[in-house]
Every structure is written in C-alpha cells, then in structure tokens.
Amino acid sequence: MDRNSYIIYIIDLFEKNNLGHLIDADKAEKLYDLSNLLVETNKMTNLTAITDEKDIILKHFLDSATVCDSFLYEWSILDVGCGAGFPSLPLAILRPDLKITSIDSTGKKITFVNRAAELLGLSNLKAICTRAEDLVKSDREKFDACTSRAVARLNVLAELCIPFVKVGGLFVAMKSDKGLEEYNEAEKGIITLGCNLRNKNELTLADETTVIAREIYCFEKVAHTPMQYPRNYSQIVKKPL
C-alpha cells in the first residue's frame, strides 16, 4: 500500500476493532514507517515470521494496541522479551506519554528496537539487551507496570515480571485464547509473588480475512515480592511456583 492508502486503511481497522480512540494520522504514519523498516530489516536479519503488510497491522500493531488502555498517564512500563519491539514500539507510538523500557536477551532485536525508536523520533522508549533475571538486580519494583507477549507460560513469566512492579502497579500478560489453562496453573505462584487478578479481558481482533482471539490478564501488585524471587532461570523453568 502507498502511504495514504495505508493511513486510511489502518485508521479504519483500528476503528472497526474498537481501538479508534488510540490512533490519528500522525501515529498511523509512524506505524507505516515502522512496518517498512521491519520488513526491510527482516530481509537481512531474522526478526519476525510475520512479514505480510496486513498481517503486521493485525498481529503486531492491533494486538500491541490492546494493552494501551491498561496504563495510567505517564506511567513507566517494562516490556520483558520485546523481540522486535512488540508490544513496546506500537505502545510508544500510540501512548507518547508513557516511559517505556524494552528488554530482550537477543542483541540484534534490541539494536533494531533502538534504531526504530530513533528513526521514528520515539524519545519515550529505550531498549536494553539484558535478561529479566539480571536487570531485576538493579531495577526491582521500579516500574508502574510490566507487560509481555509470547515469552513464556504464565507460571514462568510471572516470576520474571512481577518483581519489577511497584506495589500498586500492574503486571499485564498478553495471552492467546488458551490463557485460562495457564492462569489456573500459575494462580498460586502469582499470589506468592504479591499480585491478585484484577481483570481479564477477552477480545477478538479482525481484518477482512482473519480473526484472532486474545486474552489480557491484568494483575495488581498488592504486596512486595519476597526477596527470594526471582530464583535463577533454570529453577524458574524446572520448578515453576
């Protein structure tokens, strides 16, 4: 699509998916530039399996947009395992008030996210190449919210993410439609880590050809995470809480 057709198409699709309040022509233009940058960079460096322009809109941009309304004005947000910048890059475009830190253990993905943020003028996002278990040593309970998509099952993800969240803040886990099974498995551990389920949002996203089901689990931090968590990664994975 050329720039103008893209802007009309994406604004219309956000509106049809009840996300129209998040977008305007300037933001749509930034998403167009991000899409092109992702596709171009992906030809040289493997960043994402999703490369079709309309799939990128639905499965990366609209999906990332579903967490936008979870966060209060000017909150600090950590995206754990951001990969090529999802949800954090669309979040930084759609919510310029947020202060976003994106982390991933893979250097080439972080190089891409920082380059995209610079080219798109997103001064509200910085990306760091690190593992969650390492960053937590310096950044424990420093963020208003922590979010993550497609990184680990909820019982593992919770131990990686919840220690970063301030008491009163949120852990927002983006899940597919199989989230309930993961939630049941993780519930006890999530309480041990200091969180309670605040709400679960089930939604579908659709374009002309595809419908995807999503579940967003939003947990409120009600108590400090005990200092023995997170354990080292092999323990987290071998014996989830």
- List residues near ligand SAM by CB under 6 A: 80-83, 86, 103-106, 109, 131-133, 149-151, 160
Tokens at 221, concatenated: 């931090």
Q: Parallel, antiparallel, or unpaired for β 165-175 and 195-206?
A: unpaired
Are the CB atoms for 154 and 175 separated by under 8 Å?
A: yes
The maximal CA–CA distance of the chain, rounded, in angstroms, is: 53
Nearer to ligand SAM, 124 or 147 (CB): 147
What span, in angstroms and rounded, lies between the C-alpha atoms of 172 and 199?
A: 10
Q: How far is the CB of 230 from ligand SAM (least distance, A)?
A: 9
Please say whether the beta carbons of 208 and 183 come within 8 A.
no
CB 84 within 8 A of CB 110: no
Q: Which two tokens stand for residue 237?
A: 């994975």
Crossing angle for the helix pair 3-16 and 25-42, nearest 10 degrees? 110
Distance CA 241, CA 236 (A): 7
Q: How far is the CB of 74 from ligand SAM (least distance, A)?
A: 23
Residue closer to ligand SAM (CB basis): 81 or 169: 81
User: Which CB, 28 or 156, lies closer to ligand SAM?
Assistant: 156
In the bound state with ligand SAM, the residue whose beta carbon lies nearer, of 7 and 186, is 186
CB of 25: closest distance to ligand SAM in angstroms? 26
| Min CB(135)–ligand SAM separation in Å | 8
Judged by CB, which is closer to ligand SAM: 7, or 205? 205
Angle (nearest 5°) at CA 37 between 33 and 42:
155
Q: How far is the CB of 29 from ligand SAM (least distance, A)?
A: 22
